[in-house]
């Protein structure tokens, strides 16, 4: 991220560095940071918001910022040749981030319109056992590298109820002896200090990890090594263009980012037999059911 020319945004960068938010929330907050910087560049906010972070996060500046951002005018790249309005989901995320920043600065939340995004329907608890049986069937036969990775991800999710940002941060060093346990660093959705815990793994997860680690070993060897548990399967690029319009090519075996993990979930849900009926549209909805069941059995 480039350093802003505005003192208020540079102060915002310092605030963000101290928040300790999870990877997904940090990306959302960085989106807001970039939009605020572009709004100041367009002279769309009060002049005093350039110098003071507190002024930048006052309603006098945030009101015009939110309206301009929702119009799409503050997008950092074009979408299909234009700058369309941002989605309802993005609008609600933006408003939530605005309130998180104000609270971090000791200011009350504004609640700038909108309302909470309806949660995706979560599967019934009984579906978890059916899903586990389906994954066990996969392990009994041949699987592609993509199916092997997804099977291990889903098995671990059934044990840990980890968020996608927590899953993607796992390293091979977070696995216990014989994959009998996994250390998960919990990352609160709203930011704040995380808390780690060791979670015992099921026989299903141990078998799924054994299959995946064999595939992973071949991939990582080609990419010169990483300790991240989840790695890419195919050559891709980093999505960042240089001055000549070129991007860095990434070989297979590079650390999988959160977007890649979520995409593999969505694709696998549709691709592999039996999953469409068992998995909700979003991994987060599955996580909520697993978490509720873990809390029920622990009570």
pLDDT in tens, 76-111: 888 878 889 998 888 989 988 999 899 888 888 887
Cβ(222)–Cβ(232) below 8 Å = no
Question: Which residue reads 């509720």 in tokens?
Answer: 292
pLDDT in tens, 218-244: 898 876 778 999 999 986 644 444 445
pLDDT in tens, 137-195: 999 999 999 999 999 999 999 999 999 989 999 999 999 999 999 999 987 665 555 68
- pLDDT confidence of residue 240: 44
What is the rounded end-to-end Cα distance, in angstroms, of the chain?
Answer: 45
Could you count the other beta carbons within 10 Å of the beta carbon of residue 181? 18
pLDDT band at 115 (very low <50, low <70, confident <90, very high): very low
- pLDDT confidence of residue 242: 43
pLDDT in tens, 249-288: 667 888 998 888 988 999 999 999 899 999 998 899 999 9
Could you count the other beta carbons within 10 Å of the beta carbon of residue 196? 11
Q: What is the pTM of this model?
A: 0.63
**What torsion, rounded to 10 degrees, do the Cα atoms 110, 111, 113, 117 define?**
160
Q: Which residues of 30-63 are buried (b: 16+ CB within 10 A; e: fewer)?
A: ebbbbbbbbbbeeebbeeebbeebbbbbbeebbe
Could you count the other beta carbons within 10 Å of the beta carbon of residue 248? 11
- pLDDT confidence of residue 235: 65
Could you count the other beta carbons within 10 Å of the beta carbon of residue 211? 19
- pLDDT confidence of residue 239: 43
- pLDDT confidence of residue 70: 92
């Amino acid at each position: 991220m480039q350093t802003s020319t505005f003192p208020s945004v540079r102060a915002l960068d310092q605030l963000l560095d101290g928040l300790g938010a999870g990877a997904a929330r940090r990306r959302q907050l960085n989106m807001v940071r970039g939009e605020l910087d572009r709004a100041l560049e367009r002279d769309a906010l009060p002049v005093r918001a350039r110098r003071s972070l507190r002024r930048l996060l006052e309603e006098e500046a945030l009101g015009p910022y939110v309206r301009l951002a929702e119009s799409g005018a503050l997008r950092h790249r074009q979408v299909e040749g234009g700058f369309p309005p941002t989605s309802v989901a993005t609008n609600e995320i933006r408003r939530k981030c605005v309130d998180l920043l104000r609270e971090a600065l000791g200011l009350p939340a504004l609640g700038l319109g909108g309302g909470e995004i309806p949660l995706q329907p979560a599967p019934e608890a009984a579906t978890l056992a059916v899903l586990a049986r389906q994954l066990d069937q996969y392990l009994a036969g041949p699987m592609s590298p993509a199916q092997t990775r997804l099977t291990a991800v889903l098995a671990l999710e059934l044990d840990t109820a980890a968020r996608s940002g927590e899953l993607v941060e796992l390293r091979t060093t977070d696995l216990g002896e014989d994959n009998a346990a996994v250390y998960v660093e919990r990352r609160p959705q709203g930011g704040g200090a995380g808390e780690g815990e060791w979670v015992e793994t099921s026989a299903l997860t141990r078998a799924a990890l054994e299959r995946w680690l064999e595939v992973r070993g071949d991939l990582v060897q080609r990419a010169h090594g990483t300790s991240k548990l989840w790695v890419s399967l195919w050559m891709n690029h980093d999505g960042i263009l240089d001055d000549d319009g070129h991007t860095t090519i990434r070989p297979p075996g590079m650390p999988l980012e959160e977007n890649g993990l979520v995409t593999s979930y969505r694709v696998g849900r549709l691709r592999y037999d039996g999953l469409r009926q068992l998995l909700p549209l979003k991994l987060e909805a599955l996580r909520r059911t697993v978490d509720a069941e873990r809390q029920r059995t622990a009570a």
